């Protein structure tokens, strides 16, 4: 039996699936130049994560590496390019989870950590806690010698204009979309990975929602809501209106449907994203990956930046609904 099990594990084919946020993303609203930028960014992240897996690296390493690429890219609402709060700040959230051990780490409301996903992993591996927030998380990050930046690093003109539009809208003035797309809510990034040992991992990173108030935290740093991973079921990363993903514990619900009801990743993803969230107004999507390499990318919005790369190393990127 042991020999057989070892043989099965040796045949595991690494897989990486990513998302870059969901929202009102249509061909009509996307310029060719901007679409090219998004595709190239996702392909870069997928290749970076695949390179880790191809060298025998862990699913955790692949998730962290690929998410860092998007955190550093101002196109996405994570890290540099994060949206602004009502008070004109960038407050970042992230989480990561190990599917083999169910260890997890998260940070929320941080303003000076260059790569929140790395800080989340440090919380998981170098502390006895699961989540740290605000100044405390930043103090911990400095102690761990993580890269700290001036809050101005995260500022981008595009996101600043989005905040001004939201503030004007509150005063009864019409709001115009930036770049032809309504990205005020979405742009969260995430990854799920399967390594050669059959271990799953999931991670999510976000700047939250434009014009968010009073230390608001969404689902991205909350294990079971925006992120979840266990080898016995699936790895999940979500993007959408966080309040719904928290209340419906979306990531864990998807995993539970696979584990206890025997649903496929597509069936479980659709059950929650399409059948449970849509009737209550919860918009967004998720990426789901099981230990056999099966994956699904359900979403109920106009579009979702998403992609995957398997053993052949060829990245595939999709944006629109069809």
Q: Which residues belong to the active site?
A: 188
What span, in angstroms and rounded, lies between the C-alpha atoms of 15 and 162? 35
Contact 190, 287 (CB under 8 A): yes
Contact 86, 211 (CB under 8 A): yes
Neighbours of 99 (CB within 10 A): 29
R_g (Cα) of the chain, nearest Å: 18
Contact 181, 301 (CB under 8 A): no
What span, in angstroms and rounded, lies between the C-alpha atoms of 182 and 2? 53
Beta-strand runs (E) in the chain: 15-23, 92-98, 104-110, 131-133, 189-194, 200-206, 227-229, 234-240, 284-290, 295-296, 303-309, 315-320
CA distances from 90 to 11, 215, 247 (A): 44, 11, 24
Decide: helix, strand or coil at residue 43: helix
Angle at the Cα of 247 from the Cα atoms of 303 and 68, rounded to 5 degrees: 50
CA distances from 302 to 28, 43, 206, 240 (A): 11, 21, 20, 12
């Amino acid at each position: 039996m042991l020999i057989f099990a070892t043989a099965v594990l040796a045949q595991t084919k690494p897989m990486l699936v990513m998302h870059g946020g969901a929202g009102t993303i249509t061909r009509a609203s996307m310029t060719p130049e901007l679409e090219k930028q998004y595709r190239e960014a996702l392909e870069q992240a997928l290749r970076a994560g695949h390179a880790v897996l191809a060298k025998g690296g862990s699913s955790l390493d692949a998730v962290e590496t690929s998410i860092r690429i998007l955190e550093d890219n101002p196109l996405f609402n994570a890290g540099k390019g994060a949206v602004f709060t009502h008070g004109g700040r960038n407050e970042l959230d992230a989480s990561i989870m190990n599917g083999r051990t169910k260890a997890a780490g998260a940070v929320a409301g941080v303003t000076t950590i260059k790569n929140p996903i790395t800080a989340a992993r440090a919380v998981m591996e170098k502390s006895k806690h699961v989540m740290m927030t605000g100044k405390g998380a930043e103090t911990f990050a400095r102690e761990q010698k993580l890269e700290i930046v001036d809050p101005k690093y995260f500022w981008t003109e595009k996101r600043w204009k989005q905040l001004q539009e939201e503030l004007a809208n509150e005063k009864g003035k019409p709001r115009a979309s930036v770049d032809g797309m309504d990205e005020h809510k979405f742009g969260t990034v995430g990854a799920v990975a399967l390594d050669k040992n059959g271990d799953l991992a999931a991670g999510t990173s976000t700047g939250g929602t434009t014009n968010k108030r009073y230390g608001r935290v969404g689902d991205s740093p909350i294990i079971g809501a925006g992120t979840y991973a266990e080898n016995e079921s699936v790895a999940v990363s979500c993007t959408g209106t966080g309040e719904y993903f928290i209340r419906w514990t979306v990531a864990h619900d998807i995993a539970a449907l696979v584990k206890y009801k025997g649903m496929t990743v597509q069936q479980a993803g659709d059950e929650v994203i399409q059948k449970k969230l849509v009737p209550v107004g919860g918009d967004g999507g998720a990426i789901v990956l099981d230990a056999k390499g099966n994956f699904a990318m359900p979403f109920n919005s106009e579009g979702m930046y998403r992609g995957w790369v398997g053993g052949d190393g060829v990245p595939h990127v999709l944006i629109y609904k069809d």
